[in-house]
Amino acid sequence: MIRIQFDPRKGIWCEEEEGKERLRKNFFGTERNGKIWLNIEEALYILNFMNGVCYHGDREIGFNDLASHYSSREPRLFIKYNAFRDWRDRGLVIKRMSDIELPKNPKPKKGKRYPSKTIERMEIKPEAYWYPKSMFSVIDDYETGRELFQRYWLGQLGIYKQERGKLLKLDFFETVFLAKHFGMKVVNADTGKPMKWKEVFEGVVKERDYARQHYEVYEDWRLKGYVVKTGFKFGSHFRIYFPGASPGRSEDKWIHSKHVLHVFPKEQKLLVSEWARAVRVAHGVKKTFLLSIPEMTEKDYIDYPTEFISFRRKKVRGNWIRETPEDKPRYLFADFSEEEHIGGVELASLLRKAESMGMDLILSITDRETAITYYVLNKVVLPGSDFVYYEIEWMKP
């Protein structure tokens, strides 16, 4: 049994030697003046899972009695506690940043470097007819359409995966990209008048939320030689193929993308459950989930509150052992519930904070059954890009 004491003016502590030894062994609390002082989530865990008892003076108090003294000043107390509880249940160490000595002048995370290739541009003589309300354009010159499709995988030639039909259909992104960078001429199908790429672009921006940010990301990857197609079937904005990919078959099988890309504008806020669902869909079809938060500037970043640093396991002489506060911290740990909202600015700020501390960011999401799902976010470097991208992976600690 671990006996702890609570005084609303002082805090929570353990002073009995047997209890202190057990807490030291498991890296709970902070020791000073002969006592081990505990944070509320540590104390609640001890009561619930370590045969602990808590006394307020001479009166024994339970989980809710103790928690209620902190809930008003820590309104997300139960979410925080549940995240702490799950990590501890896995035999791993998690601490508040204020309770450990963090490395001085840590090396920022460099990120994973992706390949980049300069796109070679061709002359496009036939006009593309733009259908404003449908937001598609059509090139009916078969030879030009075939070359754009086979060489760049731009548009859809004929019927998707049926190899029949001679029209090349271009979506909004492809139409603007070809008009802007390849000099393709565009004609308004409604009026018969020529259009500049900016007219097409601004027309769609007026009709579709965040079309500008989506196009900027699309253009960024296309100019680096990547093939970028719709990610609709996979719950994301785009699917990505690395430079050199083509729409043909390989060994009688259609080529499949290995990455999907989701654009998260900085002004947008999503339910955590909606955001996580897109990640899970991608992982369910064995695709890497990439995240973009475009248009962030220095003044956009905020000091988003996070409290936890977490450790995992390391291999020593062939055996896996848990890391402790004596090791380099591995993760900046952010806790959410599935009912909360997260915005692009908040997520970008968390990612930058983790990067500057030399850590990866881990998101802990509590669902309505108090189960926890974890996602790790790692920076991706796309050479020549002004944007920042991240890979997001589901993780089982």
C-alpha 130/C-alpha 189 separation (Å) is 5
The sign of the CA dihedral 44, 48, 52, 56 is positive
Residues with a catalytic annotation lie at: 241, 256, 287
C-alpha 187/C-alpha 206 separation (Å) is 19
Tell me the three state secondary structure of residue 289.
strand
For residue 162 the two structure tokens come to 């049926």
Provide the 8-state DSSP code for 239: E
**β-bridge pairing 227-230 and 238-241:** antiparallel
Please enumerate, as own/partner, the contacts of 11-17 that have beta carbons within 8 Å and a separation of 24 or more.
11/37, 11/38, 12/37, 12/38, 12/39, 12/40, 12/42, 12/43, 12/54, 12/66, 13/37, 13/38, 14/38
CB of 223 within 8 A of CB of 239? no
Burial 10-30 (b: 16+ CB within 10 A, else e): eebbbeeeebbebbeebbbbb
C-alpha 256/C-alpha 287 separation (Å) is 10
Tell me the three state secondary structure of residue 356.
helix
* 104 φψ region: left (φ > 0), alpha (ψ -120 to 50), beta (else): beta
